[in-house]
């Protein structure tokens, strides 16, 4: 039997998160009293609740069949890397270079061969970005790499 | 956040080299100035900064760009100023919190006020007013202190957050008056006002500009002001000092100041101080500041440094007492 | 001035060329900027603020207000076409709007959003004009206990909107509530779950959360899918126009949503978010076939869009009558008045009636302009869907990053988008509803602070929730709803398993 793995894993991860939040709260924050609820009261309650709900999601799923879910680790890696690189690069590389780099990385996992469209995008998107955000919206963004 | 020593040394070397032919004072500014403000566009500290930066740009002959980096009660603005520093054209304005109480309230601010911040000048100060609902039986400071002293936590007051000027002022007041009030933190004066008008809480220390419209409409009453002199915007409100058993030197003021990163060329600081002080002497500028609740208070960098030191100590003592409770 | 005289006066005032031009400018800019992912009214208004120095206070307010409600129209476009909601309200619109677009009915979805937005605004204007006094009293009568009880009701009512099992819906709301705890605790000043990061002191950036959970997660899920592109969509007036069936379905939801939005919008806080979710939950509850929701039910677009636009209008009630801004955007607009030396407060309306009536009239004119402007644009927006996805998504990613950056200028938030995007992708794989997470995130801090504040004010007496008439009503309603939905879940659980669908 193919079990309902998404619900099992999802439920367990949430339960673990809830338990972690509960533990961290109990160690670090004061629960207080009813009159003066401390900063720990809410997160502790919510952590416990999430732990229970996670189990309620996960356990029945064990006895149930579920559909398989296609996972794309490469796509996720490239997209997230593109976002991170844009974030880290913006202030140092400037808008143009950060955008170009980020676009190039984002296009890597797309299932289309050839470099033509990729290179075209690394030119078009930075140009669009500069026009819309820097000139149009007047956001103060460094355009070019900052020399040390 | 703190720039490591080698990089800082390299930067100052580079600056020194480029500045060799003519003194920095003559050539500066060579590019647009960036002024970081730790509050969102349209907020009182932002409007205040723009009142200063517009004439400043005219005087320096370079654009002055206000960069809003709101968050953490203004601390983010200071951090971002320091992170962008190094070219001699990055500055900031800030309220008193990030330079006085933030080090005590936050786990880590990532900067050391004495090391990393070079004072330029105070821009303006603002007292706080003690406001109550107009339905309240308390009509003056005497009756307020009497009502508050009737029993522990007889009155509840609102503030704009734990450790905010409004909170610490109220605690200082309670301590000096020998009473104990219940603190209810809110996030804005608008919420405090609504709560006072709805009769949920009894009082609040508020910025005069936040309280005045509701006093004029007959919803609220002001019992006292925390400055040494009556405030021009509300001349009828008596000063708290010396009344109802409070000491004659009772004083609590918020301020707004212009600052530079710690390694800024002293000549540049002098130049900025001169320009801003002159701007603040313009009656039109003073009027604009008053309209948003601030009273111009120009001074020397040394005076600002002094103010940071005394306020840090004064509010630190209040925080000690609050934490001990 | 009677209401009628006031309205006529206001229309005359708002139609002056010197005022009308700023109204047009505001709504056009708002609706274009709103389309950009993550750049909402807040960023656009901050941007325009310096311009307002040079025009009159009335023109400034009318222009900024135009940006504010104009951005709501634009936000709906991004949510429907690309699943890129920048606000929780438009996340609700995406719930059914995006599935509609995927099944080739983008034109109909956009039309439904525009038409119901317009209808909701008009309803909001009517409520604003006729009931402003009553709503003002309601806004001041609400105490901390009442707010807490109301938010809990909203949370319970809206928790049922998920298409999956009840436990999964509740788990997402709880996770949202927990994430809402991140940052400085208002009541104690303690920094919770910040791990020494100053950037987290004010909590997780809402726009980063919405963009990560929806936009970035959606992009990841589609990159490897070679067929993901042009949904074959006929372009032309006929394809854009909804059929008779669609129109019939839109009527009541629009009215109900508008009524909900008009009421909740006037309460300072998150009226707009709450009413969108409530409207969606309500439509699902009254629908004959609730299982259509989440798969492209036009009611799920019309109701919430009407609600959030009505709320955007009535949010001006406390702002104008008391000078008390209900949200940061309203605070920003009042800031613009302060720049002009106008001190917002209870007397502002008496002192400047032209401002109130001019603004009210400009709402009507502005919304009409938005409708006229946006209907022809539907064709262009739909045409974007014919561009292959691979040409679009790199730009989407960069735009998302800049949209998030525009909120407060911190690159920390961009990196946060990546982390949240990963979480969002995993949640999407396991079919958890990100909209519910967002709801919990927005309402959580309000529930917590108001609950704790109420108990502080009552000096620790929990009876405060049963003594105040407003609070007790909400508490009873929440209890009834909670029991009903648990009962339903129990019956469903013991009954035959429902077929699972996407």
Q: What is the C-alpha separation between C174 and C194, in angstroms, rounded? A: 19
Q: Among A136-145, B147-156, C124-133, which is the least confidently predicted range?
A: A136-145
Q: Which chain C residues are Cβ-neighbours of B161 within 8 angstroms?
A: 184, 186, 189
> Model confidence at C228, in pLDDT bands (50, 70, 90)?
low
Residue A14: its pLDDT value, please? 95
Give strand pairing partners of B296: B124
Best residue in B65, B190, B203, B322 to probe C by mutation, most C CBs within 10 Å?
Answer: B190
* CA gap C471, C148 in Å, rounded: 8
Q: State which residue of chain A sits closest to B67, comparing Cα positions.
A: A140
Q: Which residues pair with B118 in a beta bridge?
A: B260
Q: What is the DSSP string of B168-232?
A: HHHHHHHHHHT---EEEE-SSHHHHHHHHHTTSS-EEEE-HHHHHHHHHTTSEEEEEESSSS-BT
User: Which chains share 3+ C-beta pairs under 8 angstroms with B?
Assistant: A, C
What share of chain C has pLDDT > 70, as a percent? 93
Q: What is the model's pLDDT at position A101?
A: 94
Residues of A in contact with B9 (CB under 8 A): none
Question: C355 versus B274: which is more confidently predicted?
Answer: B274
Nearest Cα of chain C lies from the Cα of B289 at a distance, in angstroms, of: 10
**Residue C398 is nearest to which of A39, A75, A125, comparing CB atoms?**
A125
pLDDT of C29 > 70? The answer is yes
Which structure tokens are listed for C290? 């609730």
Please report the pLDDT score of residue C164 as a whole number: 67
**How confident is the model at residue B8, as a pLDDT?**
43
Nearest by CB to C346, from B75, B186, B219: name it: B219
Which one of A39, A140, A146 makes the best mutation probe of the B interface by having the most chain B beta carbons within 10 Å? A140
Average pLDDT over residues C387-400: 88
Output the pLDDT for position C139.
76
Mean pLDDT of chain C: 86
pLDDT in tens, C463-501: 888 888 888 999 998 888 888 877 776 776 554 444 444
Band (B7; pLDDT cuts 50, 70, 90): very low
Residue boundaries of the structural domains of chain A:
5-61, 73-136
More confident call, C416 vs C50: C416
Q: Which helix (H) or strand (E) holds B79?
A: helix B75-83
CB contacts, 8 Å: C179 with chain A: none
User: Is the per-residue pLDDT at C18 higher than 50?
Assistant: yes
Q: Which pLDDT does position C1 carry in this prediction?
A: 64
In 3D space, the residue among C46, C77, C86, C87 whose CA is nearest the CA of residue C64 turns out to be C46
Q: What is the mean pLDDT of residues C121-143?
A: 86
- Using the Cβ of A140 and the Cβ atoms of chain B, whether some distance falls under 8 Å is answered with yes
Two tokens at C436? 């519910």
CA distances from C308 to B289, C115, C265 (A): 37, 13, 8
Residue predicted with more confidence, C79 or C234: C79
Of the candidates A34, A72, A124, the beta carbon closest to that of C460 is on: A34
Phi, psi of B257 (to 5 degrees): -140, 160
Q: Which of B67, B108, B200 sits opposite C457 (nearest CB)?
A: B200
Pull the structure tokens for residue C269: 């806080």
- Give the separation between CA B168 and CA B185, rounded to whole angstroms: 11
Distance CA C330, CA C342 (A): 15
Q: Which tens digits make up the pLDDT trace of B126-135?
A: 999 999 999 9
Residues of chain B with CATH 3.40.190.10: 129-225
Do C187 and B200 make contact, defined as CB atoms within 8 angstroms?
A: no
Mean pLDDT over each residue of chain B, to the nearest integer: 88
Residue A134, min C-alpha distance to chain B (Å): 14
Chosen from C228, C395, C502 to mutate, greatest number of chain A CBs within 10 A: C395
pLDDT of residue C86: 80
Look-up of token digits 């104008």: C320
Question: What residues contact residue A118 under an 8 Å CB cut-off, 6+ apart?
Answer: A104, A107
**CA–CA distance, B54 with C54 (Å, rounded to integer):** 13
Are the beta carbons of A6 and C427 separated by less than 8 Å? Answer: no
User: Cβ atoms within 10 A of the Cβ of B266, count?
Assistant: 12
- Strands B117-127, B295-296: parallel, antiparallel or unpaired by DSSP? antiparallel
Examine residue B308 and say whether the peptide bond preceding it is cis (omega within 30 degrees of 0): no
Residues C156 and C61: their CA atoms lie apart, in Å, by 36
Phi-psi category of C499—alpha, beta or left, where left has phi over 0 and alpha has psi -120 to 50? beta
**C48 pLDDT more than 70:** yes
Please, what is the Cα angle at B264 between B262 and B267, to 5 degrees? Answer: 135
Are the beta carbons of C165 and A57 separated by less than 8 Å? Answer: yes
C187 has a pLDDT exceeding 50? yes
**In which element (H, E) is residue C428 found?**
helix C411-429
CA distances from B233 to A120, B44, B129, B250, B251 (A): 61, 16, 11, 20, 18
What is the Cα–Cα distance from A29 to A11, expressed in whole angstroms? 26
Where are the CATH 3.40.190.150 domain residues in chain B?
A: 32-125+254-324
Q: At a CB cut-off of 8 Å and minimum separation 6, what does A32 contact?
A: A38, A39, A40, A41
Per the CB < 8 A criterion, the answer to whether C346 and C303 are in contact is no
Is the ipTM beyond the 0.90 threshold?
yes
Per the document, the length of chain B is 325
What are the helix (H) ranges across C142-162? 144-158
All chains having 3 or more CB pairs closer than 8 angstroms to chain A: B, C
CB pairs A-C closer than 8 Å: 198
Nearest residue of A to residue C215, measured between CA atoms? A79
Nearest to C85 by CA among C261, C223, C276, C214: C214
- Residue in C46, C336, C449 closest to B68 by CB: C46
B46 to chain C, any CB pair closer than 8 A? The answer is yes
pLDDT (tens digit, 9 = 90+) per residue, B285-324?
999 898 888 999 999 999 999 999 999 999 999 999 888 7
Convert the pLDDT of each residue in C265-315 to its tens digit: 888 777 888 999 999 988 988 888 888 888 888 999 999 999 999 999 999
Q: For the residues of A63-103, what is the DSSP string, one character each?
A: TSB-------HHHHHHHHHHHHHHHHHHHHHHHHHHHHHHH
Distance CA C275, CA C283 (A): 12
Distances (CA, A) of B213 to B131, C320, C347: 12, 13, 7
Confirm or reject CATH 3.90.45.10 for domain B129-225, answering yes or no. no
In C185-254, at which residue ranges do the beta strands (DSSP E only) sit? 191-192
Q: Model confidence over A22-41: pLDDT tens digits?
A: 999 999 999 988 778 889 99
Q: Does domain B32-125+254-324 have CATH number 3.40.50.300?
A: no
The minimum CA-CA distance between C157 and chain B, rounded to whole Å, is 26
Asked if the Cβ–Cβ distance from C395 to A125 is below 8 Å, we say yes
What is the phi/psi pair of residue B100, to 5°?
A: -120, -55
At C356, the pLDDT band (50, 70, 90 cuts) reads confident
| Per-residue confidence (pLDDT) for residue A33, from 0 to 100 | 82
Phi, psi of A16 (to 5 degrees): -65, -45
């Amino acid at each position: 039997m193919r079990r309902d793995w998404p619900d099992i894993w999802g439920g367990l991860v949430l339960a673990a998160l809830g338990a972690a939040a509960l533990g961290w709260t109990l160690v670090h924050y004061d629960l207080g009293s009813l009159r003066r609820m401390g900063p720990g009261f809410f997160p502790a309650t919510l952590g416990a609740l999430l732990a229970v709900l996670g189990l309620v999601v996960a356990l029945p799923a064990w006895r149930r069949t579920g559909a398989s879910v296609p996972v794309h680790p490469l796509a996720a890696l490239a997209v997230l890397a593109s976002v991170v690189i844009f974030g880290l690069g913006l202030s140092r590389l400037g808008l143009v270079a950060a955008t170009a780099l980020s676009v190039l990385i984002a296009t890597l996992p797309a299932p289309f061969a050839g470099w033509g469209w990729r290179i075209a995008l690394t030119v078009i998107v930075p140009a669009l970005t500069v026009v819309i955000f820097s000139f149009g919206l007047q956001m103060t963004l460094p355009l070019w790499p900052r020399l040390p | 956040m703190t720039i490591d020593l080698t990089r800082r040394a390299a930067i100052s070397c580079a600056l020194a080299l480029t500045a060799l032919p003519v003194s920095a004072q003559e050539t500066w500014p060579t590019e647009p100035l960036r002024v970081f403000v730790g509050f969102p566009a349209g907020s009182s500290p932002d409007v205040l900064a723009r009142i200063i930066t517009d004439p400043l740009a005219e005087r320096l002959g370079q654009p002055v760009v206000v960069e809003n980096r709101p968050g953490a009660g203004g601390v983010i603005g200071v951090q971002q100023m320091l992170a962008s520093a190094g070219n001699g054209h990055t500055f900031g304005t800030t309220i008193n919190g990030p330079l006085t109480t933030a080090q005590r309230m936050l786990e880590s601010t990532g900067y050391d006020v004495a090391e990393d911040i070079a004072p330029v000048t105070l821009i303006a100060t603002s007292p706080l007013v003690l406001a109550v609902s107009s339905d309240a039986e308390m009509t003056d400071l005497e009756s307020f202190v009497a009502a508050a002293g009737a029993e522990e936590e007889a009155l509840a007051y609102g503030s704009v957050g734990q450790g905010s000027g409004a909170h610490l002022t109220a605690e200082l007041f309670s301590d000096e008056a020998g009473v104990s009030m219940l603190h209810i933190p809110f996030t804005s004066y608008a919420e405090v006002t609504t709560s006072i008008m709805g009769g949920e809480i009894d009082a609040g220390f508020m910025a005069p500009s936040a309280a005045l419209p509701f006093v004029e409409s007959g919803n609220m009453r002001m019992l006292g002001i925390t400055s040494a002199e009556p405030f021009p915007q509300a001349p009828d409100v008596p000063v708290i000092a010396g009344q109802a058993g409070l000491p004659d030197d009772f004083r609590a003021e918020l301020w707004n100041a212009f600052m530079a990163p710690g390694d800024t060329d002293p000549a540049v600081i002098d130049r900025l101080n001169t320009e801003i002080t002159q701007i603040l002497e313009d009656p039109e500028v003073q009027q604009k500041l008053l309209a948003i609740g601030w009273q111009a208070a120009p001074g020397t960098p040394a005076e600002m440094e002094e103010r940071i030191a005394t306020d840090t100590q004064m509010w630190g003592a209040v925080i000690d007492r609050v934490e001990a409770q | 001035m009677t209401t009628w005289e006031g309205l006529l006066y206001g229309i005359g005032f708002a139609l002056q060329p010197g005022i009308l031009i700023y109204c047009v400018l505001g709504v056009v800019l708002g609706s274009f900027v709103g389309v950009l992912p993550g750049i909402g009214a807040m960023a656009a208004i901050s941007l325009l603020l310096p311009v307002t120095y040079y025009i009159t206070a009335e023109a400034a307010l009318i222009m900024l207000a135009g940006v504010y409600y104009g951005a709501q129209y634009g936000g709906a476009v991004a949510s429907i076409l690309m699943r890129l909601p920048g606000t929780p309200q438009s996340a609700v619109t995406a719930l059914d709007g995006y599935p509609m677009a995927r099944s080739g009915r983008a034109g109909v979805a956009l039309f439904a959003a525009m038409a119901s937005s317009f209808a909701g605004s008009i309803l909001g204007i009517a409520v604003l004009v006729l009931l402003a006094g009553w709503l003002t009293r309601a806004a001041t009568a609400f105490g901390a206990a009442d707010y807490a009880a109301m938010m809990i009701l909203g949370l319970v009512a809206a928790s049922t909107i998920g298409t999956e099992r009840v436990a999964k819906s509740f788990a997402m709301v709880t996770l949202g509530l927990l994430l809402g705890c991140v940052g400085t605790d208002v009541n104690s000043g303690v920094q919770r779950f910040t791990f020494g990061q100053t950037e987290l002191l004010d909590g997780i950036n809402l726009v980063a959360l919405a963009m990560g959970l929806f936009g970035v997660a959606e992009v990841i899920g589609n990159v490897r899918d070679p067929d993901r592109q042009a949904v074959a969509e006929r372009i032309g007036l006929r394809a854009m126009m909804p059929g008779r069936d669609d129109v019939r379905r839109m009527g009541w939801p629009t009215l109900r949503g508008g009524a909900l939005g008009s009421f909740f919008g006037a309460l300072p806080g998150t009226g707009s978010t709450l009413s969108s979710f409530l409207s969606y939950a309500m439509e699902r509850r009254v629908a004959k076939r609730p299982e259509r929701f989440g798969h492209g039910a036009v009611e799920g677009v019309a109701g919430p869009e009407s609600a959030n636009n009505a709320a955007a209008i009535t949010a001006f009630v406390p702002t104008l009558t008391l000078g008390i801004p209900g949200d940061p955007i309203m605070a920003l607009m009042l800031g613009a008045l302060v720049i002009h030396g106008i001190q917002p407060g209870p007397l502002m309306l008496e002192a400047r009636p032209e401002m109130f009536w001019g603004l009210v009239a400009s709402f009507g004119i502005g919304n009409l302009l938005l409708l006229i402007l946006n209907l022809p644009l539907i064709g262009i927006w739909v045409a974007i869907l014919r561009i292959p996805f691979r040409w679009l998504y790199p730009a989407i990613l960069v735009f998302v990053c800049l949209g998030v950056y525009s909120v407060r200028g911190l690159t920390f938030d961009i990196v946060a988008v990546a982390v949240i995007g990963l979480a969002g992708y995993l949640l999407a794989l396991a079919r958890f509803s990100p909209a519910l997470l967002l709801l919990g995130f927005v309402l959580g801090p309000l529930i917590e602070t108001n609950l704790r504040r109420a108990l502080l004010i009552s000096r620790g007496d929990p009876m405060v929730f049963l003594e105040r008439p407003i609070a007790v009503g909400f508490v009873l309603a929440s209890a009834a709803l909670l029991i009903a939905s648990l009962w339903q879940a129990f019956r469903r659980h013991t009954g035959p398993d429902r077929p699972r669908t996407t």
